[in-house]
Chains A and B, each alone.
Chain A
Amino acid sequence: MIWLTWRQFRVAAGATAAALVVLTVALALTGPGLASGYSAGITACTRDGDCARFFDRFFDDYQTPFLAVTVIVLILPALLGLFWGAPLVSRELEAGTHLLVWSQSITRARWLAVKLTVVGGAAVAAAGVCSLVVTWWSAPLDKSAAPGFTLMDPLVFGARGVVPMAYAAFAFVLGVTTGLIVRRTLPAMALTLAVFAAVQIVMPLTVRPHLLPPVASSFALGPENVDAFNKSSDEEFPQVILDWAIPGHTGAWVLSSRLTDPSGRVAGGDGAPVTVRVSMTSGPCAPSQQAQDPGRGFDACIAEINRLGYRQRATYQPFERFWPFQWIETGIYVLLTAGLAGLCFRWIRGRLS
């Protein structure tokens, strides 16, 4: 049975392996240069004492390939579910060949078990290899990533570490299940894509923030967590916009970042501008002061707003939870995968002819 599974699967396996080899070679050729550029930059910036600017520049330089490889890891599980999972059984049902193979001296449960193990194992391995080389290659970039692109942020989290393997296993078995139930390859592929995409969107939006209770805390305002400071001519007071960042917690996944006023009430935030009642006629925020030294003036004005009692109230998942989250999410997907596989076996025993 293993032979037959491999015989039917070898073309798809070969094509995917070739694509992975191309990716690995490309990353292996560029990876060392990226790493040495990073370490040279770090040495230089520690001497100058301004590593923030180096991080910005370094990440900007490589943002396009960084996003490209990240997207590859993100969509690979969907492709595996679509092209390996969905046709696995539905193509046999469409061609009637299931009746040929099921009338050999082998139970259909064993037939399905071997197919799931061999092809599903290959899907997990493919996603694992892809995630491994991308995680290795992008390590310097992950260390210097801008807010929104750090390891804990949804876009990057799903493309690093072990979760891509769990996604691949889930997508693959999801494809097999829809193929079994729908019995036609193309509708099964469409359904697989729709369901998998929905799960991948719902997971980071609603489930992942609560895998562990988020940390909630207040932080003093400073250049790290204040993005902008504006004053329009027809308003008496200026507005500030908070950044999705937390002072002293680089790389945290910020779930909310809001401004509290001196009485401790939430005044607004989460990306929206908030009015602060700071004097614009005198003091550090006055335009006359700002004009003297824009760079230093901004910091001084923020310090003045902080002195008045405005704070950042943030909930976040600290960067240290990256690996706990990876394992918890892997566990969730493994359970989903096992549940779907169980459904497949029940279905193939009872519902199919």
Chain B
Amino acid sequence: MSPVLQARDLAKKYGKRWALRDCTIDIPAGHVVGLVGPNGAGKTTLLKLAAGQLTPTSGTITVLGGRPVGDPAQLARIGFVAQDTPVYAGLSVADHLRLGARLNPGWDATLARERVERLGLDPRHRAGKLSGGQRAQLALTLGLAKRPELLILDEPVAALDPLARREFLQGLMEAVAEHELSVVLSSHLVSDLERTCDYLIVLVGSHVRVAGEVEELLATHHRLTGPRRDPDRLPSDQHVVSASHTDRQSTLIVRTDAPIHDPAWRVSQVTLEDLVLAYMEAPAPTHLRPALEVQR
């Protein structure tokens, strides 16, 4: 499928500090993509670049086949819910919907009204008095009712309690199922993404460590436990993501498409969290070990 987001050597510099450097990434359409990585990995910068809120210092980025620049037609195709889901504290819920209707040619008033009703938000309520969860839902409503082809959410649930978090993600999933839009969602918590995303990208230090469909990733990654040995002596089709050793025992996380036959290993399944942590802990990829992409 054609990518919704494609970046080549994308870089963004704030003053003298690089927020994102040499970022090359492809995000396929039709997925709910989880972008995960430690704080400072460049997730927010990448998403702001994708939403057209920033201009790159160098490199290129195309979103939905176009450059995410200040062009109303392109802006209309991308929904963006910024970090901490900002809303106008002084405006009421109804005012926010009116704002969306006035500023978006493709505004879906029915969707917005129904969502607000279903959430139990009082339209006369001032947004500043809403709870964190309600505020996030209002921001999501604005993003959805715009009817974008791609919805970008930057850490939408970071500030929410677990219940509000679940409700938010559930609402998002329902909307995705209903309106067939692509979603890119960032988080530094894997558990947020586990039930939501079907595609995962691990971004560490501006670089994509691994990208692929969640099912595929889980099927091809294994934890091997066995007597201590040098990970370099594994078969060539087994790529070691991370290795930890005690005096007598080695624990490896490996990626391989082939089954593992070596009887010395005890092979066990990895969870998504194990997988992400393994990639986040792993040293930066060298030329010999380039970042892997799992493709169909």
Are B87 and A97 in contact, with the CB atoms below 8 A? yes
Residues from 83 to 109 in A contacting B, C-beta threshold 8 Å: 95-97, 99-109
Interface string of A158-196 (1 = CB under 8 A from B): 000000000000000000000000000000000000000
Interface string of A197-234 (1 = CB under 8 A from B): 00000000000000000000000000000000000000
State the main secondary structure of chain A at its contact with B.
Answer: helix
Are A105 and B105 in contact, with the CB atoms below 8 A? yes
Residues from 15 to 40 in A contacting B, C-beta threshold 8 Å: none
Which A residues lie within 8 Å of B139 (CB)? 100
Are B102 and A1 in contact, with the CB atoms below 8 A? yes
Q: Is B164 interfacial (CB 8 A cutoff)?
A: no
Interface string of A109-137 (1 = CB under 8 A from B): 11000000000000000000000000000
Known contacts A8-B88, A95-B89; is-contact A103 B75 (Cβ 8 Å): yes
Could you tell me the distance between the alpha carbons of A278 and B43 in the complex, rounded to whole angstroms? 88
Q: Is B55 interfacial (CB 8 A cutoff)?
A: yes
Are A105 and B70 in contact, with the CB atoms below 8 A? no
Q: Is A350 interfacial (CB 8 A cutoff)?
A: yes
Are A104 and B104 in contact, with the CB atoms below 8 A? yes
Min CB distance A84 to B, Å, is 15
Are B90 and A99 in contact, with the CB atoms below 8 A? no
Interface string of B72-100 (1 = CB under 8 A from A): 11011011111110111111000100111
| Interface locus among B34-42, B46-54, B216-224 | B46-54
Interface residues on B, range: 35 or more
Could you tell me the distance between the alpha carbons of A299 and B98 in the complex, rounded to whole angstroms? 77
Closest B residue, CB atoms, query A353: B54
Known contacts A1-B103, A7-B95, A106-B75; is-contact A100 B70 (Cβ 8 Å): no
Min CB distance A100 to B, Å, is 5
Which B residues lie within 8 Å of A96 (CB)? 82-84, 86
Residues from 134 to 155 in B contacting A, C-beta threshold 8 Å: 139, 142-143, 146
Known contacts A3-B102, A96-B84; is-contact A109 B53 (Cβ 8 Å): no
Residue in A102, A104, A110, A350 whose Cβ sees the most chain B Cβ within 10 Å: A104
Could you tell me the distance between the alpha carbons of A108 and B52 in the complex, rounded to whole angstroms? 10
Interface string of B113-146 (1 = CB under 8 A from A): 0000000000000000000000000010011001
Q: Is A44 interfacial (CB 8 A cutoff)?
A: no
Partner of B142, one of A100, A107, A349: A100
What total of chain A residues lie within 8 Å of the partner, measured CB to CB?
23
Min CB distance B152 to A, Å, is 8
Which B residues lie within 8 Å of A100 (CB)? 82, 86-88, 139, 142
Q: Is A343 interfacial (CB 8 A cutoff)?
A: no
Known contacts A96-B84, A97-B86, A353-B48; is-contact A104 B99 (Cβ 8 Å): yes
Min CB distance A175 to B, Å, is 19
Could you tell me the distance between the alpha carbons of A270 and B82 in the complex, rounded to whole angstroms? 64
Q: Is B106 interfacial (CB 8 A cutoff)?
A: yes
Known contacts A105-B75, A107-B72, A353-B53; is-contact A99 B86 (Cβ 8 Å): yes
Known contacts A4-B102, A7-B91; is-contact A104 B146 (Cβ 8 Å): yes
Known contacts A96-B82, A353-B53; is-contact A104 B103 (Cβ 8 Å): yes
Q: Is B71 interfacial (CB 8 A cutoff)?
A: yes
Closest B residue, CB atoms, query A107: B70
Are B102 and A103 in contact, with the CB atoms below 8 A? no
Could you tell me the distance between the alpha carbons of A101 and B72 in the complex, rounded to whole angstroms? 12
Could you tell me the distance between the alpha carbons of A246 and B78 in the complex, rounded to whole angstroms? 70
Could you tell me the distance between the alpha carbons of A95 and B98 in the complex, rounded to whole angstroms? 20
Could you tell me the distance between the alpha carbons of A33 and B105 in the complex, rounded to whole angstroms? 57
| Sample (18) of A-B pairs whose CB atoms are under 8 Å apart | A1-B103, A3-B98, A4-B103, A8-B88, A95-B89, A96-B83, A96-B86, A97-B88, A99-B53, A100-B82, A100-B142, A101-B103, A103-B81, A104-B75, A104-B104, A106-B72, A108-B70, A350-B55
Task: For the A-B complex with A100-B82, A103-B78 known, give 7 more contacts whose Cβ atoms are closer than 8 Å.
Answer: A1-B103, A96-B83, A103-B82, A103-B143, A104-B100, A105-B73, A107-B71
Nearest first, the 6 closest Cβ-Cβ pairs linking A and B are A96-B86, A99-B82, A103-B80, A104-B103, A105-B76, A107-B70
